[in-house]
Structure 1
């Protein structure tokens, strides 16, 4: 069963995930995502599905929230491992004026833990 080293590795992965999104850095994000990534926006009325290359194209076209000085907040709510090869992260992030709720499935590869699926929804902020 997985233990502390895997937890440390996944938390490091999540730091790169949050940083890559905030800085719109596809190079960093490619170190987080599996080549077979499935990206799903499950927000009501905005369903989208794409693979890694389409998502990285979107990231590269985005104005990085960091350059605008957007406030940022991230929370890892839960990390769960099912054996040595798969896991799940429940997280949330606030950036670009929105609250994102993520469910990320993980797979342990020869290159370490990677996000295989990113399913998320956007909850508009209430100021």
Structure 2
């Protein structure tokens, strides 16, 4: 992480917290507050490149059963925050929405005074089944 000479870390962390809350609660409206309208979603988790725009991604989120609704334990971990400058940052984080564990790379831009996610690229793996 570069020095936070402009004091951007609290705003970036707030953006990431809202993102993680949006995932845990399957709340597309919350996610819409932190994704730039022109943001893109990318993954090769299904063996081929999958790309979505935000309206498509938000519909997927709306169709999910929220981890919070099934009282799944919450697991979020910020792995890295790299501030490239006053308008660009990169975040690496881990989160789990059973039965999947995600490593997300989020590119953020400061647009109109607000930090927003401009791209989401992630890897996913299945969590091991809990012993009976």
TM score, norm. by length of structure 1 = 0.92
Give the superposed CA RMSD.
Answer: 1.6
Shift of 1:46: 5.0
Paired positions, count:
127
TM score, norm. by length of structure 2 = 0.89
Residue-by-residue CA offset, 1:46-98 (whole Å, 9 max, x unaligned): 53110000000111111111111122200011111111111100001011221
Look at both structures and tell me which one has the larger radius of gyration over its CA atoms.
2
Distance 1:78 1:66, change over 3 A: same
The unaligned stretches of length 5 or more in structure 1 are none
Counterpart for residue 63 of structure 2: 61
Shift of 1:42: 2.6
User: Between Structure 1 and Structure 2, which shows a larger proportion of helix residues?
Assistant: 1
Runs of 4+ in structure 1 deviating by more than 2 angstroms, as ranges, are: 1-5
Counterpart contact for 2:26–2:66, Cα < 8 Å: yes
Counterpart for residue 98 of structure 1: 100
Distance 1:120 1:5 in 2: 27
The unaligned stretches of length 5 or more in structure 2 are none
